[in-house]
Chains A and B, each alone.
Chain A
Amino acid sequence: MALIEVAGVHVRFGDRVVLESIDLAVPEGEFHGLMGPNGAGKTTFFNVLTGRVKPSRGSIRLDGEDVTGLSSHRIAAKGVARSFQIMTLFDDFSARDNVMVGLPEFRARGFDMRHAVAADQGFAETASEVLMTVGLADKRDVRAKDLSYGDRRALEIAVALGQRPRVLCLDEPTSGLGTDGVQRLATLVGKLKGKLTIVAIEHDMEFLFSLADRISVIHWGQVVARGAPDELQQNEWVKRSNLGRFA
Chain B
Amino acid sequence: MIATPSNRSDSARLVTPAMLVLWLVLATVPLWIARVGLYPYLGIEILIWSLYALAFNLVLGTAGLPSFGHGAYFGIGAYAFGLCQFNVVANLWVCLIAAFVVAALAGAVVALFISHRRGIYYAFMTIAFGQIFWTLAIKSHKVTGGEDGLLKIARLPADFGVASFDLADNIAFYYFVLIVFALAVIGLWRLVHSPYGRVIAAIKQSETRAAHLGYHVWLHKASIFTLSAAISGFAGGLFAMAQLAAFPDVMSLHQSGYVVMMTLVGGGLVSFWGPVVGVFLFLIARDVIGALTNAWMLYFGLLFIAIVLFRPEGVAGAVAAMFEKHSAIRRQGHSAMRLLFGGGRWR
Contact = CB atoms under 8 A, between A and B. Distances in A.
A88 B205 CA distance: 9
B305 to A, nearest CB: 26
A113 B194 contact: yes
B303 interface: no
Nearest to A78: B214
A92 to B, nearest CB: 6
A119 B195 contact: no
A106 B3 contact: no
Interface stretch (A25-33, A68-76, A172-180, A189-197): A68-76
Interface stretch (A7-15, A94-102, A206-214, A225-233): A94-102
A141 B8 CA distance: 11
B18 to A, nearest CB: 15
A77 interface: yes
B309 interface: no
A140 to B, nearest CB: 9
B202 A101 contact: yes
B214 A118 contact: no
Contacts of A93: 201-202, 205
Contacts of B211: 52, 71-73, 76
Nearest to A118: B12
Contacts of A102: 213-214
Given A106-B195, A115-B195, A142-B2, A76 B213 contact: yes
B19 interface: no
B3 A72 contact: no
Nearest to B197: A113
B190 A118 contact: no
B3 A107 contact: no
B205 A90 contact: yes
Interface in B191-212: 191, 193-199, 201-202, 205-206, 208-212
Given A90-B209, A93-B202, A111 B214 contact: no
A104 B212 CA distance: 12
Contacts of B1: 143, 146
Given A88-B208, A101-B199, A142-B2, A115 B194 contact: yes
Contacts of A106: 195, 198
A89 interface: yes
A106 B198 CA distance: 10
Nearest to A116: B12
B198, B202, B212, B217 interface centre (most CB from chain A within 10 Å): B212
Given A77-B214, A142-B2, A163-B214, A110 B195 contact: yes
Contacts of A74: 214
SS of B interface (majority): helix
A118 B9 contact: yes
A114 B11 contact: no
A16 interface: no
A88 B195 contact: no
B216 interface: yes
Contact of A94 (B3, B201, B215, B223): B3
Given A114-B190, A116-B193, A118-B8, A73 B2 contact: no
A240 interface: no
A105 to B, nearest CB: 10
A115 B201 CA distance: 16
B194 A141 contact: no
Interface string B166-200: 00000000000000000000000011011111110
Interface in B206-246: 206, 208-217, 220, 223
Interface of A: 50, 52, 71-74, 76-77, 81-82, 84, 88-94, 97, 100-102, 104, 106-107, 109-119, 141-143, 146, 159, 163
Given A50-B212, A97-B198, 14 more contacts: A72-B211, A72-B212, A73-B213, A74-B214, A76-B212, A88-B206, A89-B209, A90-B201, A93-B201, A114-B190, A115-B194, A116-B11, A118-B12, A163-B213
16 contacts: A52-B212, A76-B214, A92-B201, A94-B3, A101-B199, A109-B196, A111-B195, A112-B196, A113-B190, A113-B196, A115-B194, A115-B195, A117-B197, A119-B12, A141-B3, A143-B2
Interface of B: 1-3, 8-9, 11-13, 190-191, 193-199, 201-202, 205-206, 208-217, 220, 223
- CB-CB nearest 7 A-B residue pairs: A118-B12, A76-B214, A72-B211, A77-B214, A116-B12, A109-B195, A119-B12
